[in-house]
Amino acid sequence: MIKKDTPNGTKEQKKDPNSKIDLQTGSGGELHQTAGGTHPELTTNQGVPIFDNQNSLKANPKGPTLLEDFVLREKITHFDHERIPERVVHARGTGMHGFFELTKSLEKYTTAKILTEVGEKTPVFTRLSTVAGGAGSIDTPRDVRGFAVKFYTKEGNWDLVGNNIPVFFIQDAIKFPDLVHALKMEPDRAFPQAATAHDTFWDYISLTPESMHMVMWIMSDRTLPRSLRMIEGFGVHSFRLINEAGESTFVKFHWRPKLGLQSTVWDETVKISGADQDFHRRDMFEAVEQGSFPEWEFAVQLFTEEDAEKFPFDHLDATKLIPEELVPLKVIGRMVLDRWPNNFFAETEQVAYCAANIVPGIDFSNDPLLQGRLFSYQDTQLFRLGSPNFHQLPINAPKCPFGNQQRDGYMQMEQPDGRVSYEPNSLSEKSARETPTKGFHSADVTETGNKGRIRPERFADHYSQARQFYISQTSYEQAHIASALVFELSKVEHEHIREAIVGHLRHINEDLASRVAEGLALKKMPDAPVAAAPPQEMEASPALQIIGKMKDTLEGRVVGILVADGSDGDVIKELEKAIVKAGANIKIVAPKIGGVKLADGTMQTADKQLAGAPSALFDAVAVILSDQGAKQLMNESVAVDFVTDAFVHLKAIAFDSGGKVLLKKANVKSDPGIVDANDKDAFIAAAKTRQWDREKSVRILA
């Protein structure tokens, strides 16, 4: 669906219902009549109307351009300054507006209004990102996804800046610049972009055993999400909630997608990256445009200091998670993203998250990774946005009243009046004062001990939870982890690095280590490095699987139907009806974008042209062809690949008699996912899942 543009040339402005700022600024001067209708006047930034925006001012028709052309100078100068530094990590991101609604009060634990006022809808801006690549990199590398939410609460902005993985690579913030330098493109050759499959990353990991738990997560299909609507989110660190009596309780925050978890398989991901670099951003855009708003449950794990003492790990170590079996999740709300930004730069690029933005009733823990983050975000925004007044940008400004005596600085947009710019003062009744009763209070904790560059003893166990993660996976997921490790390490040129990683794997699981060693054709099994004895074996936690958390639904999925001239319109229509009823979208794929002539002579329009729409872009496919259509497509490698790929990506395939011919050419073997197009129920059931058992017949896994 293409939205009609408004006369000023911009897409119709969707007014931010919560903003007091007029978003119309910059849309043009006074209205005037033109041949094309009524338009605002095009003006310079000084409001001077422009009569010719196509020709610069020249000394004569063939002469040089004149320096006095302020219209040209202003336009080019502004253009020259359009870019700002991209984020040093998480540069590629997609942001959306929405709301958070509390469904259960945490009144017993906190005074924060956002966590106590049931039914209240708090506006949010959420940015989902990849980590390693630049702003223009692909949406689908094997990478962690950032999950940053800015809640515009009544008591100020709360930023929960999390990831789609509940743990992190390192335990202490001082290591972060090294980690990021190692994982980004190598500095001399400037590649690979957005990929960890290279020497410097794995070299650093091999020397940083605390990262092995995170390595298990990033080598799992969690880093290959099918859609950003199908990822979980985690606050990662422990935070504190503080109640009316000043008592504090530890909390971990979780987001759980309404559509369930779903990932792609690696070969599919690689093909998606080629076919649609904006796969995830486009999916989000289309979902919001269509009114299928991305939604997550918000849940907490609550525990006391005494509970924490009994855990067989230190919850202040960000390389550890708290298994749901140990502290169950309590669902307390939901987030719905229902509004696409008006402008990418103004909102998604300029949004400035800060892990230190919290509100009364919530506080930080002593997690040393979190403590470093509390400094880093404000610092990076000052550099990126260039002024201490970045909080005044509409996307960053609180939606509650705010103000103080901070003044001036680059790009000050406010015009405070009066002679007073300090507090306390006796000269102005209007000026803002402290509010001792309801202002932000830190948790009342006592700190003792000796200063030093030290880590708590319990941080020394680096493998127990990595082991727990691995044993919690289904056999299919374990095979994917092993294969991902083989893939990544095969791109590592230095043998000693490959061996060192396999050495670490031996502490996690001997079978995994052997599979990877074999996949790399190592001459002998490397020694495992010296490691601290685990305090306690962790039991398997099925909540750590992806397959177990896939939802039995077609909602949010897309089925591609391959057609050609002569296809049976009735079969297509019937199939379409059943698929749409089950909640999925349909894309008709045809050799030509203009569509095809069906068997009954009517025209079927196409959504996608075959060459640009490989089956990797769909969750399931149907191949509906006449004999003549099948004959034609047998000689079209893209059509054969369409079917082969759907098969090797473990997808459901529906076919009719013509389709069957193409399936045969593509070497498709019968299994429960290969279904007659007339058996719609069987197709819908198969399309809801992947045919995991098929995998061993189409791929040699490690």
Which position among 127, 198, 462, 688 is part of the footprint of ligand HDE (CB under 6 A)? Answer: 127
Which position among 8, 87, 99, 132 is part of the footprint of ligand HDE (CB under 6 A)? Answer: 87
Stretch that binds ligand HDE, among 159-167, 300-308, 590-598, 617-625 (CB under 6 A): 159-167
CA gyration radius, the chain: 28
Longest dimension (CA), the chain: 90
Whole-angstrom distance, CA of residue 500 vs CA of residue 491:
15
Tokens for 126? 């959420």
Taking residues 204 to 243 in sequence order and writing x for each that binds ligand HDE by CB under 6 A, - otherwise, the string is: --------------------------------x-------
Consult the annotation and say whether 383 binds a ligand.
Answer: no
The amino acid that residue 423 corresponds to is E
Using CB atoms within 10 A of its CB, is residue 161 exposed (0-12), middle (13-18) or buried (19+)?
buried
Taking residues 359 to 388 in sequence order and writing x for each that binds ligand HDE by CB under 6 A, - otherwise, the string is: ----------x--xx--xx--xx-------
Among residues 99 and 353, whose Cβ is nearest to ligand HDE?
A: 353
- Among 154, 101, 161, which residue's Cα sits nearest to residue 126? 161
CB 376 within 8 A of CB 353: no
Which position among 89, 224, 241, 335 is part of the footprint of ligand HDE (CB under 6 A)? Answer: 89
Whole-angstrom distance, CA of residue 659 vs CA of residue 673:
15
Q: Has 90 been annotated as catalytic? A: yes
Which position among 90, 271, 504, 688 is part of the footprint of ligand HDE (CB under 6 A)? Answer: 90
Stretch that binds ligand HDE, among 66-74, 140-148, 192-200, 387-395 (CB under 6 A): 140-148
Minimal distance, residue 88 CB to ligand HDE, in Å: 5
CB 235 within 8 A of CB 160: yes
Which position among 106, 132, 149, 173 is part of the footprint of ligand HDE (CB under 6 A)? Answer: 173
- DSSP lists the bridge partners of residue 158 as 151
- Say how many CA atoms lie within 13 Å of 566 toward its Cβ: 13
Whole-angstrom distance, CA of residue 90 vs CA of residue 143:
10
CB 114 within 8 A of CB 102: yes
Consult the annotation and say whether 377 binds a ligand.
Answer: yes
The dihedral formed by the CA atoms of 614, 479, 256 and 305, expressed in degrees to the nearest 10: -160
Q: Has 391 been annotated as catalytic? A: no
Strands (DSSP E) found in 276-370 = 295-303, 330-339, 362-364
Contacts (Cβ under 8 Å, ≥6 apart) of 309: none
Stretch that binds ligand HDE, among 84-92, 402-410, 523-531, 671-679 (CB under 6 A): 84-92
Minimal distance, residue 174 CB to ligand HDE, in Å: 8
The amino acid that residue 376 corresponds to is S
Among residues 173 and 617, whose Cβ is nearest to ligand HDE?
A: 173
Which position among 109, 125, 158, 168 is part of the footprint of ligand HDE (CB under 6 A)? Answer: 168
Among residues 179 and 584, whose Cβ is nearest to ligand HDE?
A: 179
Task: Please tell me whether residue 98 binds ligand HDE under the rule CB under 6 A.
Answer: no
Among residues 173 and 575, whose Cβ is nearest to ligand HDE?
A: 173
Which position among 152, 239, 353, 463 is part of the footprint of ligand HDE (CB under 6 A)? Answer: 353
Minimal distance, residue 77 CB to ligand HDE, in Å: 27
Consult the annotation and say whether 334 binds a ligand.
Answer: no
Minimal distance, residue 206 CB to ligand HDE, in Å: 20
Which position among 110, 129, 140, 464 is part of the footprint of ligand HDE (CB under 6 A)? Answer: 129
Consult the annotation and say whether 384 binds a ligand.
Answer: yes
Whole-angstrom distance, CA of residue 249 vs CA of residue 243:
8
Minimal distance, residue 161 CB to ligand HDE, in Å: 5
Say how many residues make up the chain: 702
Tokens for 292? 């299928």
Which position among 162, 503, 556, 629 is part of the footprint of ligand HDE (CB under 6 A)? Answer: 162
Minimal distance, residue 275 CB to ligand HDE, in Å: 26
Residue whose CB is nearest to ligand HDE in the complex, by number: 146
Among residues 173 and 517, whose Cβ is nearest to ligand HDE?
A: 173
- Among 507, 501, 503, 500, which residue's Cα sits nearest to residue 470? 507
Which residue do the tokens 């709300």 mark? Answer: 333
Consult the annotation and say whether 226 binds a ligand.
Answer: no
Among residues 284 and 625, whose Cβ is nearest to ligand HDE?
A: 284
Whole-angstrom distance, CA of residue 612 vs CA of residue 78:
36
CB 540 within 8 A of CB 685: no
Contacts (Cβ under 8 Å, ≥6 apart) of 519: 482, 483, 485, 486, 490, 702
Consult the annotation and say whether 87 binds a ligand.
Answer: yes
Stretch that binds ligand HDE, among 87-95, 389-397, 525-533, 615-623 (CB under 6 A): 87-95
Among residues 296 and 647, whose Cβ is nearest to ligand HDE?
A: 296
Handedness of CA 383, 388, 394, 395 (dihedral sign): positive
Minimal distance, residue 352 CB to ligand HDE, in Å: 6
- DSSP lists the bridge partners of residue 390 as none
Strands (DSSP E) found in 47-92 = none
Handedness of CA 186, 192, 193, 194 (dihedral sign): negative
- Among 409, 359, 338, which residue's Cα sits nearest to residue 97? 338
Q: Among 8, 157, 163, 509, which one carries the catalytic annotation?
A: 163
Number of residues this chain uses to bind ligand HDE (CB under 6 A): 26
Whole-angstrom distance, CA of residue 407 vs CA of residue 404:
8
Stretch that binds ligand HDE, among 50-58, 142-150, 525-533, 620-628 (CB under 6 A): 142-150
Whole-angstrom distance, CA of residue 684 vs CA of residue 681:
5
Minimal distance, residue 152 CB to ligand HDE, in Å: 16
- Among 334, 335, 327, 333, which residue's Cα sits nearest to residue 301? 327
Minimal distance, residue 370 CB to ligand HDE, in Å: 7
Residues marked as catalytic: 90, 163
Binding site for ligand HDE (CB under 6 A): 87-90, 93, 127, 129, 146-148, 161-163, 168, 173, 176, 236, 318, 353, 369, 372-373, 376-377, 380-381
Binding site membership: which residues? Answer: 87, 127, 176, 373, 377, 384
Binding site membership for heme: which residues? Answer: 87, 127, 176, 373, 377, 384
